[in-house]
Structure 1
Amino acid sequence: MDLMELFFIFLGAAMVVYYGLKLFLFMRILFPKQFFPLPNTFFNSMGEWAVVTGASEGIGRAYAFALAERGMDIVIMSRTKVKLDQVAKEIGETTGRRVKVIVADFCGETVFSGIEEQLKDLNVGVLVNNVGMLPSYIPRDFLDAEELDKIITNVINCNVKTMVKMCKIILPGMENRRKGVIVNVSSGIASIPFPLYTLYAASKVFVERVSQGLQAEYKHRGILIQAVAPFGVSTRMAGYQKTNFVTLSPEDFVKSSLLYLRAGDKTHGSVCHTVLGWLLQSIPLKLLHAETVLQRLQDYVKNKLGQNESLSTSRAIFENSPKK
């Protein structure tokens, strides 16, 4: 047998192993209950309380309800007290769990000392960092934003600083008890450099990298830290698009994502969103970044949201993780 034959035998064997591993990984995604089982008492065994930021609606609200249904008392945070009080009432009436409301504008600079004071006596077993800000409904070039300096500050404070600060507040108690769960909500568009959502997408890359780094540091101390990066979820920011196989309701997405808590330091949270992530990363960036593709993306979002051009300069904080 000459060297050429050995080379092709080795190459064939390597391809079989590679695609066999790919198939195995996909099977794990298809059957999370079998591959990543969680005992029924998993969540309340972490601690009495779960803390959810951006919990007044959307994905954050769905996480708060899901964790209460699994036996945890809940701390919900956002900037809108009226909405928080309504969510707290609904959770209490539906699940019988205790709910604590903390009003916090995460774009501010001095909000965290007050939060830490209100949480200091609670046995927090789960933290969901969900709050996020998108500067505009309509995707646009970085320099096209009005009051760009203010937008930069707000996005960094809300999407970046908040996640790190909340981990700083909650992690010490988890480390002392040698157990806990932290879920940091990222976004599917952070899978690649994403023009027109440049600042938002970059902030979500930060969320993923910090999550993965912290998991490497703290997994041996009994703490599970995971970034969850969804694509389509029917939230206010997405114009409450009709749900389908790709665009999930917040409740369905959260129910699915909790099945993947043991699936690694990053997950897309559902089968369809995992496939979307693989597809997005397989398309050449030169094609995705073509001017015609970006223009069509802008037009598509405008049509979907039913907004006119004037809304592209409006800014809003969405207390569910937006543009998934």
Structure 2
Amino acid sequence: MELLVQHFFTVLGLILCLQLLIKCLGFSKYLFPQLWGVLPPSFFQTLGEWAVVTGAGDGIGKAYSIELANRGMNVVMISRTLEKMQKVALEIEQTTGRNVKIIQADFTKNNIYKHIEESLKGLEIGILVNNVGMLHSPDPCCFLAVSDNDENLINCNVVSVVKMTRLVLKQMEQRRKGLILNISSAFGSFPCPLYTMYSASKVFVSTFSKALLAEYKSKGIIIQALTPYGVSTPMTKNQSTNLITKSSRDFVRESLDHISHGSETFGCLAHAVLGCILNQVPLWVIHSTRVQEYFLNIISAIQSKE
């Protein structure tokens, strides 16, 4: 019996060591990217002449538009905020000399894709960034605590990813090269109460990306889901940046260095470390009523001071 127990704990120890080794290998992607293959500066240009970015008027989408232009791409910016896009487009053209095309579209609607398809005709699209997204509420809250905007959220967070991918993937498959980045969220890595609709929509984005990569990686197409934690954007009320909350530009720059490192990444080292820590918290703790009430009380206290 003692020998059996000894063997059990030996095997258990080996399994835990193996898990630790796998995690260390995961971190090495961020700490030592050269070991995993550093992409040359010209890599993005080899995929095609144009990058298409949704939700490009602000936040992460704006940052991808600027950074991809800095890396030699012409950029198609798609958003409903025309004035913001025009300002960013002028900045890109003046600082990088790249061409910018603007398409105004509201991704909460379903009748926009014919117009987008017509506007993209004739462009050699090498990169698609499915970034556009929305929260069910500016602050965390229970599902019934906000008015019914479910259709808008699903159209924006889910349908847009499917429709835009279908529009662009066709020509990528024909040319046997391309890159699709789908901006998911760390809140999609577990069922996240108080962000129920948002969390569920991001689960779709991550699963869709991984399955699609399995189908098309043999055809030279890179498809990756990014699952960041805190990034300072208008959607997150432009939170102050710190070790965990990254600026949009810093997050985007780092994430583009990891596009060949798997079907899903956190996008940056800080978020990978945070994810490793939070993944050790049992789900029943996160789902407990007491924890939810604690966060709701914090939000209420903050709102009362504003």
Q: TM-score, normalised by structure 2?
A: 0.94
Q: Give the root-mean-square deviation of aligned CA atoms.
A: 1.9
Quick check: 1:138–1:302 contact (8 Å CA) kept in 2?
A: no
Query: How many residue pairs were aligned?
Result: 304
Q: Which residue of 1 aligns with 2:164?
A: 166
Equivalent position SS for 2:262: coil
Q: Name the CA distance, whole Å, in 2 between partners of 1:171 and 1:19.
A: 37
CA distance in 1 between partners of 2:255 and 2:210 (Å) = 17
Other-structure match for 2:178: 180
Which stretch of structure 1 is more off in the superposition, 103-112 or 285-294? 285-294
More deviation in 163-172 or 15-24?
15-24
Is residue 82 of structure 2 the alignment partner of residue 81 of structure 1?
A: yes
Residue 49 to residue 162, structure 1, CA distance change in 2 (3 Å): same
Q: Are 2:266 and 1:293 aligned? A: no
Cα distance in 1 for partners of 2:191, 2:12 equals 32
Is residue 72 of structure 1 aligned with residue 73 of structure 2? Answer: yes
Q: Secondary structure at the match of 2:51?
A: strand
More moved, 171-180 vs 274-283? 274-283
By how many angstroms is 1:3 displaced? 6.3
Counterpart in the other structure of 2:214: 216
Task: Give the match for residue 112 of structure 1.
Answer: 113
Report the counterpart of residue 124 of structure 2 in structure 1: 123
SS in 2 for 1:113: helix
1:202 to 200, 203, 221: 200
How far apart are the structure 2 equivalents of 1:263 and 1:186?
A: 16
Specify which of 238, 251, 254 is matched with residue 253 of structure 1.
Answer: 251
Partner of residue 43, structure 2: 42
2:223 to 212, 219, 225: 225
Q: Which residue of 1 aligns with 2:52?
A: 51
Secondary structure class of the residue paired with 1:71: coil
1:317: which partner in 2? none
Question: Which runs of no fewer than 5 residues in structure 2 stay unpaired?
Answer: none
Identity in percent: 47
What's the CA shift for 1:254?
Answer: 0.3
Greater relative contact order: 1 or 2 (C-alpha under 8 angstroms, separation 6 or more)?
A: 1
TM-score normalised by L of structure 1: 0.89
2:140 match: 139
Amino acid corresponding to residue 136 of structure 1 in structure 2: S
Q: Secondary structure at the match of 1:89?
A: helix
Aligned counterparts of 1:152 and 1:183: Cα–Cα separation in 2: 24
SS at match of 2:78: strand
- 1:19 maps to 2:20: yes
Partner of 1:63: 64
Query: Which whole-Å CA distance do the structure 1 matches of 2:27 and 2:218 have between them?
Result: 27
Read off the aligned partner of 2:141 and give its amino acid letter: R
* Alignment partners' CA distance in 1, 2:151 and 2:189: 23
Which residue in 2 is equivalent to 1:315? none
Unaligned runs of 5+ in 1: 312-324
